[in-house]
Amino acid sequence: MAKCSVCGKGVSFGIAVSHSHRRSNKMWKPNVKSVRVKTAGGTKRQYVCTSCLRSGAVERA
């Protein structure tokens, strides 16, 4: 899975518990988009989560 290149947010694992209390493994995936980002050497395509995009942590190309 992809990770956010700004904050490092990645996949989280845990246990989903149903109403009858049966337990199963669960995976929560971050909302990661592939965007073009301005860097010192020009533009570069990176994976960035939407919370970093909304906060303005990256400058899009």
* pLDDT digit string (tens) for the chain, length 61 residues: 789 999 999 999 999 999 999 999 999 999 999 999 998 889 999 999 999 999 998 888 8
- Tell me which DSSP letter residue 58 carries: S
Q: Determine the pLDDT at residue 12.
A: 96
Q: Determine the pLDDT at residue 48.
A: 96
Sort strands 42-49 and 32-39 into parallel, antiparallel or unpaired: antiparallel
- Beta bridge pairs of residue 32: 49
DSSP count for the chain of H helices, then E strands: 1, 4
Q: Determine the pLDDT at residue 6.
A: 93
**Which residue in this structure is represented by tokens 């995009």?**
53
